[in-house]
Each structure stands twice: as structure tokens, then as C-alpha cells.
Structure 1
């Protein structure tokens, strides 16, 4: 940490203490001025000492709130019990101290301090007035209780503000993870297609010019689509973006995804069962990304294979199953704890779904996603 930054932190922590010191000085001066106006003489110097102790300790209220409150209460009690008269500053220091204890200490500690304060206040009122005016004692108690309540409310508000700040930080972290996952899905899928098509074009360039041209055309289309998706994703981070945002892909774009996989040389069959209906944006994007990541893994790991997508719209569950016919050893190269599969599982859990992935019994690999669907009304 730079010396300038360290100095800034120290000064920031000292600022509240300086304000407390200023408050204590002003309140002490006013208390002494009030006491002098009552005609207290030099023979009553203990009154001045006790009067100072009813205000000056406020300077240390944030460092030792309970000790500060104990000194304030003891000084006020002695001032009245020794016959010097009413509270010298109307008990303002007492209210500040009670507020500080309630704000910085637990509710149990604040309750004990309040009880002790009321005992001293009751004895002081008993000493000052005969007979005792209980309404005055009750009024003083309500004022002190109000200071306690205000301090408790301030503590709850401060805790809520801290909790909201922590939630905001966590939300930012979650958003960064989500963006990283989106970038991984976009880059991994499109770059896999580009790599395969570029390799195919290089392999058949001299022997099959038409196939090479088709492969290069697929590389161009896929790269442009990848740039479009990445631009759409990164535009979300721009605060000065004035253009309309394009929606994220969903199952409505599944046919385009399948066509792109077929263009990359992977035969894909799609089977849809049940009554197709739109999903909310989040689960819709989740299902699309799972299908995209699964086909990408088939292209990267399964070798010569075919794939099948089964999409079942159940009454309350959407089931997406992607299987391939790759050789069993090749399929096992995709670890069920890999980054891509782990990301798919996190997506599913985010929307209350479940994803399972693993080698098939007769070879190949299988990914099954189940997402809850709300009933249409």
C-alpha cells in the first residue's frame, strides 16, 4: 500500500473522533457557562468537575461506549445526589451516550446500561423533588428509551447497508462468472467449427476444390457469427450503449445451431416431442448453451460420429438429451468434471434444473438436461 493511501485511511478513521472531540468541547463549554450563570461559587468546585464529566467523555464515545456511558451516568448521579441541583446540561450527554451504546454494542449490553441509567435517574429525581413526580421520571425514561431506539435503528440500517454492499459485490462477481461462461461457450463452439473446417479445406485443397471452397465459406460464416455473438455480449458492459440490444439465442435458434454443426461435418438428427412452447429467457438460453456445448464436445472429442438431439416438452419439465455415436475410448476423453461440463451443470442449477453427463453404455457420450417449466394459464 502506498504511503499516501495509508495516510488517507488513517485520516478517514480519525475524522469521526475529531467530530466527537469538537462536540465534547462545545457541550462542555455550554455546560460550564450554564453552571456559572446559576451563581455557583469557587467553594463549589466539585460541581464544576462533575459538570465537566457529564459532557467531556463524549469525545471517547466511539472508542469505549460503555465506559463513557458509565462515567456520564455516575457524574450526573453524583451531581444531583450531592445537592448541586438539576442536570447541568439537561442530560444531553446522557442521550448521546445511550445512543452510542445502542449503536455499537449488543442489545443485551444496551438493556443493562439502560436499566442502570434508569436506576440512577430515579434516585436523582427522588433527591431533587419531594414528593417524587413520577411523571417526570417516566418522561426522562422515555427520552432515554428514545435514544436507545434511535441507536438500535441506526445499527440495523448500517448492517443492512453493509449487507447490500456485500450483495452488490457478490452480484458483480457472479456476473463476471456468467460473462466468462458465455464467452467460453461462444468461443469454444465457433472456434471448434472453424478449426475443423480450416483443416478440411487444407486437406482437400488440391484434390477437391469445391469441398475446400465450401469449408472456407463455413469458416467465414462461423467467424462472423462468433464476432456477432461476442459483440452482443460485450455490448452489455457498455454504459453508453444507445442501440437496441439483440436478444440472446434460445431454442428458437436450435435449427441454425444444428445446421452449423452439419456444415462442420457432423450429422445431427433432431427429434422434438410434446407441445412446444416458449421458455423464459434464462432457461431458454441455458438449454441452447447446453446443446451448443454438447455438439462442440462431439466435434472435438468423438471423432467420426453422428449426434442426436431429443427435445421433450413435458407438462412440467423440459428434457434435452444430446447423444453421439463416437467410439467409447474417444468419448471418455471428455471428463465429467471438465470446465465445459461443470459450466453446463452450473447453468442448470441456476434455474433449478439438473444436468447429467457421461459415457453411453454402447459407446459415445450422453448429456441430459432437465429444466422445470411453469404451467401456462
Structure 2
């Protein structure tokens, strides 16, 4: 033999040895795991596992019954004696109950009982007996294999099927004259049915879990995307409002020196500084929000159109009435100039509330209430119960997220919820502080008039000062 042939032979032997070690390692990992599968641990409330406590008592009763039948078979048909029959049948019946929580361990036990009974009985068993499993044993083995199939992956099921069935066929081969026993075919059919049905149920449960997880991830991503889109829209609107005012400040600071006769040098420097700061602030704001504006797919004329305010409330109500919704609008208190942010947020909240009423409460009557107070603006949109059944909506409450974002941006409060008569109500309080997020309130000593704050759902707001 050449040296190369010897090296080649050693290489082939080493490769075969590595493969055998890999197979042995896989079998040890798959079949010598006594605890519950990792994929199932902590998920006892899912699928059939939730019924395990309820199945214990019926299985115990069934185990006692099959123990009596198994004892009779092992003692009289396998001719092993009463004591051996009680021991083997008792161990096998106990494995049936243990299979609820430790299916692999129970499978090992019932396979060991089959081997012991088959080798021990040898050729002494009656010809009519299902050798080497026995009639009771083949049913218990199939049921335990079913428990293995619904808790373990298919590879483990195939391994247990092959080893368990192979152990029985080994006993048949050792018996010699029982090689043609029909029990092998019956065991093959029962084991195959148990493995296929259990694997199908496990696959269905796993697919359902994955679908639920995917739906949760999709809903979270959709909510996050909607929230980001709403924040981007608010940022663009805020940019338009702030840019307008900063531009006005810059122009006024530039024109102011020309309106004063013989302005001092200090006045010119201060006004120039004001203009410079306004221009720099406007530049920084546009730099930060420039990406958002560049991604806006709307037309240029629409992008630079004036933002809506409460002055367009009548137009909004008219459009909604044209769509078939019954709407009434009331304005309480003395109208006073509001900041563009409050005007825009109030308009958007009313707009979104009307859209929700049209979508979720068909045929309902809607009332809009705008109450002007000294310290803030109360916006309330209430609809009655729907006049006809409402089809399930695919929405996930993203409009409410936008309302909360707008209200929180202004330092206000928002309350939404069902009314006692079966309708729905949205109530927002927008403060008129000099800075965003400033708590609502009036200077000490000034009368407060009607109290402000988010009112209880379904209550009647107090009349502001100046209301007839």
C-alpha cells in the first residue's frame, strides 16, 4: 500500500469518526433533555399546555385502568409472573402521566419497559399477544410519542420514532420465530399517526404564535411611524409659524430706524442686533427642519399656504355637513387674538374629532364647543351614540396620538372617552401662557372667571366671563 493510500484511509476514517461523533452529540442533546423544551418553557398558558392540570386526573384514572390490563398481559400472556407484571405495568402507566410534563423522559421509560419485557419473555409469550409492546403498551407508547411530537421539533420526533420502533423490532428479531408477527405493522401505523398528528398540531401552534408576534410588531411599527409622521407634520407647521414671526421681527428691526427722527447710535446697534439674532435663529430653524420640508411631497403652493385657524371653523363644519354628518357649533366667551400654535392645534383637534365621528359613529349628532377663557381655550367635540351598527375599524387610534402630541406641545391637557349615553367625547384645554408649557393661571389679584382645566367627560363647561 502506498503512503498516499494510507493517508487517504486515515482521512476517511477520521471523517467517518467525526460524523459519528456529530450524530452522537445531536442525539444526546435532543434525547437526553429531561426538562421541558426551551421553546415551551414559560409558555404554559398557550395551546394545549393550558389544559395540562385538567388532564392530570383523567390520565391518572386511565393509568390505573391500563395498569390492570397491562399487569394481566405481562403476567399471563408474556408469562413473566404477577410481580414482574405489576412492576412493568406500573412503571409504564406512571410514564403515561409523567408524559404531560416530561414527554422525553416518559418515552425513555416506556421504551425501556418494552425492551425488558421483550428480551425477558423471549419465545415464551403467547402467539396472539402484540409482541413485544403488548396491547396496552403499544397504545401507551403511541400516546407518549404524540406528547413528544406536540412539544418538540420534528427532528426529535423522528429520532424517538426510529429508536422506539427499532427497539421493538430488535426484540422481535431476538425472538426468532416471531419475526413475522403482525405487531410490527400495527405499531408502525400507530406511531406514524401519533407523530404526524402531534407534529401538525405543534406546527399550527408555532405558526399562530409567529403570526401574533408579527402582528404585534407590525402594529408597533405602524404606530411608531404614524407618531413620527405626526411629529414631523407638527414640526413643519411650527417651522412655518416661527419662521413667519422671525421674518416679521427682522423686517421691523430693519425698518424701525427709519421711523425715528435722528435715531441714536445705540438704538441702531440694538435694532441691528435684534435683526441679526432673528436672522440667525431663522437660519438655524430652517437648517434643523430643512430635511422634513424637503421630503414633503405636496406642491410648493400648498406647502407655503397659510395654516388653518379657528377662522375656518365654519368652512370645516360646512364640509362635514355636506358629507352627511349633523353638526352644531357653539362659541362661548369673548374672542381674543390667539397665538398661531393654539389656533392651528385647536383647528386640527376639531378636524380629527369630526373625522373620527364620521368613521366610528355613523348617523350620530356632533356638537362642537369652543370656550374662550382668560387663561386658555377649551375645545370640546361630543357625538351621540351611532344610529346604526359600526363595522370594525382597522385604525389603531393614531389620530388620538396626534391630538395628544399637539396638546402636550402647548402644555395643555386632553381627555377622551365614552359618554354615559353611548357616545364619545374629546375635550382639550390649551393654555394661553406666554411660553410653551407654562402652567395656566392668571396674575395674583386678577379675577379668574370660569375655572380652566380638563373637565369631566359629559359635564357642562362653565360660562366664561363676557358670555351673555
Query: TM-score normalized by structure 1?
Result: 0.48
Query: TM-score normalized by structure 2?
Result: 0.40
